[in-house]
């Protein structure tokens, strides 16, 4: 009986530890980042075919690097995560996981991820992955409490998975890679500012300055609209340059117009309900447009 109790206790401890690491690396967010890189890899490889082993190594390396970035983020923001409802139960914030453990795990993941990409893919992709980790963890993260410019800074590491995926195949930064990077770069503004709008009260508790004008006002909404409008010409650029066709053009314009319309509604109302509509639409926009660019080549 005592042995059975010990086994159950051990199982519970293992499950709890797995849950903590799932929260540390932000598994869902990491998956979205990796999917973006993998889709772009496939887009770059369309004319020769996908090397499935390379794609798996990209997914593995990308998961490790992104998980490391998220882990370092939680270490730096430990005392601020405690203040927000959304993040108060994170393992480092609650001391379920020590800073030392999180730091060791993040360092191992980050180093291993860069090595995997460098050995099995190429050094350029590994370098971009390393730069992305450094920008996100050590520049974007502390800047969130300093200025709303952090969202602009964070858009660079946020879009670098596209370059990692493309260069993992091509071993060079091509014009097409830069165009795909640009689409993901501008997409982040309506995406993150709509989230920041909804979570403004929570962010303010921790002193994070995420909205363009520090608050939920028409100027913040208007800036969001202006950046969203950039998605229309940016989404068309791959088509204009001959990297995709008419169907992709229709989808890109339609998607950009829908997000711009929802951003315009936010300008008119300045209400959370319109920010939520923009946020959910932005979740759909990126994977759809990236898959369309891919399928349009096949």
Q: Is residue 202 part of a domain?
A: yes
Tally of domains in the chain: 2
Residue where a domain terminates, one of 172, 200, 219: 172
Q: Is residue 269 part of a domain?
A: yes
Domain range for 199 is 174-298
Q: Is residue 188 part of a domain?
A: yes
**What's the pLDDT tens digit per position in 195-224?**
999 999 999 999 999 999 999 999 999 999
Q: Is residue 56 part of a domain?
A: yes
What CATH number is given to the structural domain containing 161? Answer: 1.10.357.140
pLDDT in tens, the chain (298 residues): 555 556 657 678 888 899 999 999 999 999 999 999 999 999 999 888 899 999 999 999 999 999 999 999 999 999 999 999 999 999 999 999 999 999 999 999 999 999 999 999 999 999 999 999 999 999 999 999 999 999 999 999 999 999 999 999 999 999 999 999 999 999 999 999 999 999 999 999 999 999 999 999 999 999 999 999 999 999 999 988 888 888 999 999 999 999 999 999 999 999 999 999 999 999 999 999 999 999 987 6
Q: Is residue 160 part of a domain?
A: yes
159 and 20, same structural domain?
yes
Residue where a domain terminates, one of 155, 172, 189: 172
DSSP characters for the chain?
Answer: -HHHHHHHHHHHHHHHHHHHHHHHTTHHHHHHHHHHHHHHHHHHTTTT---HHHHHHHHHHHHHHHHHHHHHHHHHTHHHHTT-TTTTT-TTTTTSS-HHHHHHHHHHHHHHHHHHHHHHT-HHHHHHHHHHHHIIIIIIHHHTTT-THHHHHHHHHHHHHHHHHHHHHHSS--HHHHHHHHHHHHHHHHHHHHHHHHTHHHHHHTT---STTSSSSHHHHHHHHHHHHTHHHHHHHHHHTTSS-HHHHHHHHHHHHHHHHHHHHHHHH--HHHHHHHHHHHHHHHHHHHHHHHHTT-
127 and 189, same structural domain?
no
180 and 144, same structural domain?
no
């Amino acid at each position: 009986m005592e042995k059975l109790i010990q086994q159950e206790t051990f199982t519970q401890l293992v499950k709890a530890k797995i849950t903590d690491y799932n929260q540390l690396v932000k598994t869902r967010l990491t998956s979205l980042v990796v999917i973006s890189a993998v889709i772009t890899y496939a887009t770059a490889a369309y004319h020769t075919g996908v090397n499935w082993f390379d794609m798996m190594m990209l997914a593995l390396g990308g998961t490790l690097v992104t998980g490391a970035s998220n882990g370092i983020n939680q270490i730096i923001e430990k005392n601020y995560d405690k203040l927000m409802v959304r993040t108060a139960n994170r393992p480092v914030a609650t001391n379920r996981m020590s800073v030392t453990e999180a730091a060791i795990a993040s360092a191992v993941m980050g180093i291993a991820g860069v090595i995997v990409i460098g050995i099995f893919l190429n050094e350029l992709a590994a370098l971009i992955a390393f730069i992305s980790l450094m920008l996100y963890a050590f520049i974007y993260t502390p800047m969130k409490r300093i200025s709303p410019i952090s969202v602009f800074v964070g858009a660079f590491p946020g879009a670098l998975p596209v370059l990692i995926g493309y260069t993992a195949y091509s071993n060079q930064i091509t014009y097409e890679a830069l165009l795909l990077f640009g689409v993901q770069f501008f997409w982040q503004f309506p995406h993150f500012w709509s989230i920041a709008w909804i979570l403004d009260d929570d962010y303010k508790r921790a002193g994070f300055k995420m909205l363009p004008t520090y608050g939920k006002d028409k100027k913040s909404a208007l800036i969001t609209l202006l950046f969203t409008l950039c998605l229309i010409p940016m989404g068309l650029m791959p088509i204009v340059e001959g990297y995709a066709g008419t169907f992709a053009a229709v989808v890109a314009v339609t998607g950009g117009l829908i997000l711009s319309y929802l951003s315009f509604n936010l300008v008119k109302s300045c209400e959370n309900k319109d920010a939520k509509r923009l946020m959910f639409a932005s979740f759909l926009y990126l994977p759809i447009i990236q898959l369309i660019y891919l399928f349009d080549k096949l």
